[in-house]
């Protein structure tokens, strides 16, 4: 038996998905492929709460995070930063030669809509990036309030990362007016890594047409032209698409509302466990994300020893803190396929492993 992963991605992939991924190949220009693509499209649109197309990119999330900027940023991008991934996006924008400005918030605090309004009012930006759920700190930013501000600036294209929040709670893409909403396969969806899923507004595609140096692999116009034929621009990882289709069927069988409720319930259970054990959340509880919890290591537990015990006795792995938070926080995922039963086992394993070091 392999270790069960509670790190915030990649997660343990279910047997049903692994089985689906083992299906035989089809040509990526064949009728069978077009049926696969077109079967998934409306299901994906439901999950994105959108009528916009949803494109499938065989890349990790960073592919479309970088690609989106190459498509829609001409004048300048405002990068809202409050953790490792959102901070990095500013670096990526600069590496792509885009004029990029940092709007920095302390790690573990959310993006502040008033600060966004002030920055956008400068008129320097034609796009904005923010991360709904900053996985490195377990912090959820107030997406409704941020998007209300962004909508005050009609020239600003919004690019929103929902890698660790997608399908853990509703994100109403069309109602909020999000132009580009993206997620990755290995986190909230508990698929293997290597697939990015992105829904793109017509406004964003119009902007992309003006961007001469948007490249090829992540060209939103290429994605759209192929989308209209039920295809992707280049040969995708078809196995991953089989896995995605299986996941979409499972999400539908469970029901989206039930899925949201399950994530909330399991997330609350883990939070209550942490608090009772003397580990408060890093963010203020109202900004804690729902697919994982980032606990402050307030009791100075030896996290490496903890993970050794978890692994050797229970075949479980958690995360001992990301980047500059290593050792100071630990993160436990409840994304994907976790159930009341797996969380009960996880809590028992954690209690046993903390007890091993007298806690």
Ligand X SMILES: *Cc1c(COP(=O)(O)O)cnc(C)c1O
Segment near ligand X (CB under 6 A); pick from 56-64, 144-152, 200-208, 275-283:
56-64
Segment near ligand X (CB under 6 A); pick from 33-41, 114-122, 157-165, 247-255:
157-165
CA distance 334 to 338: 6
Q: How far is the CB of 177 from ligand X (least distance, A)?
A: 21
Closer residue to ligand X (CB): 220 or 349:
220
- Of 39, 66, 41, 61, nearest to 51 by C-alpha is 41
- How does DSSP classify residue 66? H
Containing H/E element for 296?
Answer: strand 292-296
Interior CA angle at 137 toward 164 and 139, to 5°? 65
Which CA distances in Å does 207 have to 65, 127, 197?
A: 16, 10, 20
Pick the binder of ligand X from 14, 41, 46, 60 (CB under 6 A).
Answer: 60
Contacts to ligand X from residues 62-91, by CB under 6 A: 62, 85
Residue 187 interacting with ligand X (CB under 6 A):
yes
Pick the binder of ligand X from 6, 9, 69, 147 (CB under 6 A).
Answer: 9
The tokens describing 206, both together, are: 């119009």
CA distance 352 to 358: 10
Residue 61 interacting with ligand X (CB under 6 A):
yes
Q: How far is the CB of 200 from ligand X (least distance, A)?
A: 17
CA distance 193 to 184: 7
Is residue 84 within 8 A of residue 78, CB to CB? The reply is no
Closer residue to ligand X (CB): 187 or 290:
187
Pick the binder of ligand X from 5, 7, 17, 131 (CB under 6 A).
Answer: 131
Segment near ligand X (CB under 6 A); pick from 58-66, 109-117, 148-156, 249-257:
58-66
Count residues binding ligand X (CB under 6 A).
Answer: 13
Which CA distances in Å does 304 have to 2, 91, 230, 307?
A: 19, 30, 47, 5
Residue 311 phi, psi dihedral angles, 5° rounding: -70, -50
Residue 135 interacting with ligand X (CB under 6 A):
yes
Pick the binder of ligand X from 164, 201, 289, 293 (CB under 6 A).
Answer: 164
Closer residue to ligand X (CB): 33 or 85:
85
Segment near ligand X (CB under 6 A); pick from 150-158, 160-168, 171-179, 296-304:
160-168
Q: How far is the CB of 260 from ligand X (least distance, A)?
A: 19
Q: How far is the CB of 62 from ligand X (least distance, A)?
A: 4
Residue 161 interacting with ligand X (CB under 6 A):
yes
Residue 122 phi, psi dihedral angles, 5° rounding: -65, -20
Closer residue to ligand X (CB): 162 or 307:
162
Cβ neighbour number for residue 10 with a 10 Å cutoff: 18
Three-state secondary-structure class, residue 257? helix
Closer residue to ligand X (CB): 60 or 239:
60
Q: How far is the CB of 184 from ligand X (least distance, A)?
A: 4
CA distance 207 to 86: 23
Q: How far is the CB of 344 from ligand X (least distance, A)?
A: 26
Residue 184 interacting with ligand X (CB under 6 A):
yes
Interior CA angle at 183 toward 295 and 310, to 5°? 35
Q: What's the start-to-end Cα distance of the chain, in Å?
A: 28
CA distance 302 to 248: 39
Lay out the site mask for ligand X across 238-267 (x = CB under 6 A, - = otherwise).
------------------------------
Binding site for ligand X (CB under 6 A): 9, 60-62, 85, 131, 135, 161, 163-164, 184, 187, 193
């Amino acid at each position: 038996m392999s270790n069960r992963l509670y790190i915030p991605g990649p997660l343990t992939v279910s047997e049903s998905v692994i089985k689906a991924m083992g299906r035989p190949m089809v040509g990526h220009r064949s009728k069978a492929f077009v049926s696969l693509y077109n079967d998934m499209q409306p299901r994906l649109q439901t999950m994105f709460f959108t009528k916009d197309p949803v494109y499938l990119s065989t890349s990790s999330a960073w592919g479309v995070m970088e690609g989106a900027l190459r498509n829609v940023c001409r004048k300048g991008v405002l990068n809202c930063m409050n953790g490792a991934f959102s901070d990095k996006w500013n670096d990526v924008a600069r590496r792509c030669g885009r004029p990029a400005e940092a709007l920095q918030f302390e790690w573990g605090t959310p993006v502040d809509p008033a600060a966004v309004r002030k920055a956008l009012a400068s008129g320097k930006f034609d796009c904005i990036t923010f991360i709904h759920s900053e996985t490195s700190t377990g912090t959820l930013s107030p997406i409704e309030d941020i998007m209300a501000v962004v909508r005050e600036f009609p020239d600003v294209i919004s690019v929103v990362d929902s890698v660790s929040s997608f399908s853990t709670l509703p994100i109403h893409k069309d109602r909020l007016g999000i132009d580009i909403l993206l997620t990755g396969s290995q986190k909230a969806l508990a698929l293997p890594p290597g697939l990015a899923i992105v829904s793109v507004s017509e406004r964003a595609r119009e902007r992309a047409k003006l961007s001469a140096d948007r490249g090829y692999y992540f060209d939103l116009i290429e994605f759209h032209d192929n989308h209209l034929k039920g295809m992707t621009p280049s040969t995708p990882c078809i196995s991953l698409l089989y896995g995605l289709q299986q996941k979409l069927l499972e999400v539908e069988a469970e029901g989206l509302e039930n899925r949201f409720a399950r994530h909330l319930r399991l997330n609350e259970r883990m939070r209550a466990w942490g608090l009772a054990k003397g580990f408060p959340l890093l963010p203020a509880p109202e900004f804690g994300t729902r697919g994982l919890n980032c606990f402050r290591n307030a009791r100075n537990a030896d996290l490496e020893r903890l993970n050794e015990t978890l692994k050797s006795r229970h075949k479980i792995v958690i995360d001992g803190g990301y980047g500059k938070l290593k050792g100071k926080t630990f993160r436990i995922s409840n994304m994907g396929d976790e159930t009341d039963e797996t969380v009960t086992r996880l809590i028992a394993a954690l209690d046993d492993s903390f007890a091993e070091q007298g806690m």
